[in-house]
Amino acid sequence: MNNRIAIILSVLFHPLILSTYLFAILFFLTPELAGVSAFGFPALGSILLLLFLNTFIAPAVVIYYFQKMGLISSLHVDDLAERRLPYLASTLIYAIATYLFGWHLQPVSELAPQISIILGSVTLSLVLVTVISLFWKISAHAIGVGGAIGMLSGLLVRSGENGLLNPLLIAILCGGWLLSARLHLNAHTPKQILAGFLCGILVSSITVYYFF
């Protein structure tokens, strides 16, 4: 694997975009599990777009302005000391999105509480990243891909929905490429990758066990 491919993988599977991928899989392959079976295709697209704006565009814009203001030196946020503010901001944005989708966005909040539950799971993962980053550089990419794999595998086991099997296998394959890319770029040590992956798996598995 060369550096260009490793960078492309890191961007395509950035932790903030993984939520959109996960919701897209659930919305269009297993809408019953996501509580959105009552919505038509245009409505699903609108909800997914709103999730994308809240969970990727909003934090990405904030991080971009942090870089423009000199608060961080790079959009990659590789320096441990610089990671804390972007992660804190992203956590707050996800917490707000969880609140909006869970209590204020009607009729989504009534018909599909699963959306806010999944967002809450991601928010908790971000809280862990933020706290751990106060003293150690854990891999956010690993937490993100671990969370996605844990959510898909947990829902597959819990519901017996075979439609999730292929997305799960693809997620595992892409996750392996991504974590290899992070190691290739020397962005993290194997321990930081492993710790992040296990944290993601744990949070998402607990979420599925108690709320689905």
Domain, as residue range, for 207: 3-211
Q: How far is CA 188 from CA 12, 132, 167, 180, 196, in A?
A: 18, 14, 26, 10, 10
Angle between helices 113-132 and 15-29 (to 10 degrees): 160
pLDDT tens figures, 17-37: 999 999 999 999 999 999 999
Q: Strand, helix or coil at 120?
A: helix
Q: Please tell me the total count of domains within the chain.
A: 1
Residues 156 and 196 sit within 8 Å (Cβ to Cβ): no
Alpha carbon distance 94, 55 (integer Å): 6
pLDDT exceeds cutoff 90 at 59 = yes
Query: So what's the pLDDT on residue 207?
Result: 95
Whether pTM exceeds 0.95: no
- Per-residue pLDDT, averaged over 134-150, amounts to 94
Which H or E run includes 159? helix 140-159
Closest CA to 210 of 121, 126, 144, 148: 121
Query: So what's the pLDDT on residue 2?
Result: 83
Alpha carbon distance 113, 99 (integer Å): 11
